[in-house]
């Protein structure tokens, strides 16, 4: 069993703050500070360009990819870290569409907008009659038919926390001859994921949410091993070339997942993510899941007992939920601002969702009770009515 008191000490968190937003931006793992300082001072500062060879910089995207792979059930050599999730959706979707003549990209209204926007932009750019079809999350299974090229879904709904059954939907897509692209933005580091067991074809996800890699951390991209040699990357950059330093004028893809690399990797950000991932060393995702359910169930019980005006927007069954809990409240934006002023940091998703993430590595049941108590004080005192909480910031 994981000792969560030990893992709490791996993070730098401000005093008196209850951080329930690690699903949006993970906090600072202590190891990151020293690692990034070392990369700057000794590798970049001391070795200069020699560090590409001497400090493992060239291999870092694959090394970090493998570390993430362990958390999502992907074998070594099937995940590469880099670019953003949006760009990786583009890379994976173009690769998937190149494997089929079909034209329908099937997704749901619970998907994160960037995934949908990327699909819309790609369909327009390809100009070959591709179409994005969006159905309600409950209707996805029934909408999978012989016209679907790619089933593109986010496993955990960013607003409600609703968890799709990845294995069942992938099996259904395969039976209909469709490929799958899973976005694991709210899954990686939050709950056990088994890409191999589910036979998923492509997957992407963020480095800055539950993986704690820092603002704008590199994302990741998975390609099922037996598909890797069959895809011709559309973003055919030099670092995905078989021999970048041959400086050939013609593109030839590298073997395996390396071909999904594009350009020069952001080493300082990758180093930060690499160091952040050490918080997961030796940890079984099943332990994280068990503790996350314990924390989420406690939060729901405490909030429902103390705050009758907040209405649960997440599935009540923990087996159908990711690692976040959302409540609906008409004045949700102002109430979240008031909660933040009281030291409980969550976030708000339009139109009325107050969202709270549960991250066992650094949150305890006592933290959850304290957060619920402060939210109760805020709600019963109607602190959200104060004028300063009505002003919308750019990031909500």
Ligand X SMILES: *Cc1c(COP(=O)(O)O)cnc(C)c1O
Span of 183-191, 336-344, 353-361, 374-382 interacting with ligand X by CB under 6 A? 183-191
Q: Identify which of 69, 24, 77, 70 has the alpha carbon closest to the alpha carbon of residue 203.
A: 69
* Comparison of 42 and 117: residue with beta carbon closer to ligand X: 117
Greatest CA separation found in the chain? 68
DSSP string computed for 45-63: IIIGGGHHHHTSTTTHHHH
The token pair at 172 is 């259904």
Evaluated on CA atoms 338, 341, 344, 345, the torsion sign reads: positive
Q: From CA 187, how far away is CA 217, in angstroms rounded?
A: 16
Question: 244 burial class (0-12, 13-18, 19+ CB within 10 angstroms)?
Answer: middle
* Comparison of 204 and 375: residue with beta carbon closer to ligand X: 204
Q: Considering the complex, what minimum distance in angstroms separates the CB of residue 330 from ligand X?
A: 24
- Of these, 112, 182, 222, 358, which contacts ligand X (CB under 6 A)? 112
Q: From CA 209, how far away is CA 323, in angstroms rounded?
A: 12
Q: Considering the complex, what minimum distance in angstroms separates the CB of residue 346 from ligand X?
A: 15
Interaction between residue 84 and ligand X (CB under 6 A): yes
The CA-CA-CA angle for residues 343, 346, 350, to 5°, reads 135
Considering the candidates 11, 19, 112, 362, report the single residue annotated as catalytic.
Answer: 112
* Comparison of 183 and 274: residue with beta carbon closer to ligand X: 183
387 DSSP assignment: G
The footprint of ligand X on residues 116-155 (CB under 6 A) is: 154
Q: Considering the complex, what minimum distance in angstroms separates the CB of residue 278 from ligand X?
A: 22
- Of these, 39, 66, 115, 367, which contacts ligand X (CB under 6 A)? 115
Q: Considering the complex, what minimum distance in angstroms separates the CB of residue 156 from ligand X?
A: 8
Contact 262, 269 (CB under 8 A): no
Q: List phi, psi (to 5°) of 181.
A: -130, 115
Site size for ligand X (CB under 6 A): 13
Q: Considering the complex, what minimum distance in angstroms separates the CB of residue 217 from ligand X?
A: 9
Q: From CA 199, how far away is CA 166, in angstroms rounded?
A: 9
**Cα dist from 261 to 184, 273, 316, 374, 376, whole Å:** 19, 17, 40, 46, 48
* Comparison of 32 and 185: residue with beta carbon closer to ligand X: 185
Considering the candidates 202, 208, 299, 329, report the single residue annotated as catalytic.
Answer: 208
Give yes or no: 162 in active site.
no
Span of 33-41, 83-91, 194-202, 253-261 interacting with ligand X by CB under 6 A? 83-91
SS3 letters across 219-273:
CEEEECHHHHCCCCCCCCCHHHECCHHHCCCCCCECCHHHHHCCCCCCHHHHHHH
Give yes or no: 183 in active site.
yes
Considering the candidates 209, 224, 291, 349, report the single residue annotated as catalytic.
Answer: 209
Q: Considering the complex, what minimum distance in angstroms separates the CB of residue 172 from ligand X?
A: 21
Interaction between residue 25 and ligand X (CB under 6 A): no
Q: From CA 391, how far away is CA 374, in angstroms rounded?
A: 21
- Of these, 200, 206, 275, 325, which contacts ligand X (CB under 6 A)? 206
Span of 102-110, 178-186, 231-239, 321-329 interacting with ligand X by CB under 6 A? 178-186
Tokens 């001391």 belong to 46
- Of these, 13, 70, 86, 365, which contacts ligand X (CB under 6 A)? 86
* Comparison of 7 and 326: residue with beta carbon closer to ligand X: 326
Considering the candidates 183, 201, 274, 347, report the single residue annotated as catalytic.
Answer: 183
Considering the candidates 108, 327, 355, 358, report the single residue annotated as catalytic.
Answer: 355
Interaction between residue 186 and ligand X (CB under 6 A): yes
Give yes or no: 112 in active site.
yes
Q: Give the residue numbers marked as catalytic.
A: 112, 183, 208-209, 355
Positions that interact with ligand X (CB under 6 A): 84-86, 112, 114-115, 154, 158, 183, 185-186, 206, 219
């Amino acid at each position: 069993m994981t000792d969560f008191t030990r893992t709490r000490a791996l993070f730098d968190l401000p005093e008196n703050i209850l951080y329930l937003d690690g699903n949006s931006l993970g906090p600072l793992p202590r190891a990151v500070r020293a690692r990034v300082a070392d990369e700057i001072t000794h590798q970049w500062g001391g070795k200069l360009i020699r560090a590409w060879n001497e400090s493992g910089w060239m291999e870092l995207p694959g090394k970090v990819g493998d570390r993430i792979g362990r958390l999502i059930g992907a074998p070594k050599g099937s995940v590469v870290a880099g670019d953003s999730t949006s760009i990786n959706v583009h890379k994976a979707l173009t690769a998937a569409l190149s494997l089929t003549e079909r034209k329908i990209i099937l997704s749901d209204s619970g998907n994160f907008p960037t995934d949908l926007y990327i699909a819309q932009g790609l369909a327009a750019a390809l100009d070959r009659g591709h179409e994005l079809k969006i159905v309600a999350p409950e209707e996805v299974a029934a909408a999978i038919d012989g016209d679907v090229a790619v089933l593109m879904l986010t496993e955990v709904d960013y607003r409600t926390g609703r968890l799709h059954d990845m294995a069942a939907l992938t099996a259904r897509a395969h039976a209909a001859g469709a490929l799958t692209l899973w976005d694991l933005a709210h899954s990686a580091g939050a709950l056990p994921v088994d890409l191999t067991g589910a036979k998923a074809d492509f997957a992407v996800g963020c480095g800055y949410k539950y993986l704690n890699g820092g603002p704008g951390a590199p994302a990741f991209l998975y390609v099922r091993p037996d598909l890797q040699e069959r895809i011709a990357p559309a973003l055919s950059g030099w670092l995905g070339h078989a021999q970048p330093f041959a400086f050939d004028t013609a593109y030839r893809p590298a073997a395996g997942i390396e071909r999904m690399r594009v350009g020069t990797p952001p080493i300082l950000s990758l180093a930060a993510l690499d160091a952040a991932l050490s918080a997961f060393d030796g940890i079984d995702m099943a332990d994280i899941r068990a503790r996350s359910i314990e924390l989420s169930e406690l939060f729901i019980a405490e909030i429902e007992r103390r705050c009758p005006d907040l209405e649960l927007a997440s599935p009540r069954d923990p087996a159908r939920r990711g690692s976040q809990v959302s409540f609906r409240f008409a004045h949700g934006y102002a109430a979240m601002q008031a909660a933040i002023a009281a030291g409980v940091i969550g976030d708000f998703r339009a139109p009325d969702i107050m969202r709270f993430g549960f991250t066992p590595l650094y949150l305890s049941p006592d933290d959850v009770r304290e957060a619920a108590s402060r939210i109760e004080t805020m709600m019963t005192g109607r602190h959200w009515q104060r004028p300063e909480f009505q002003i919308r910031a750019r990031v909500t």
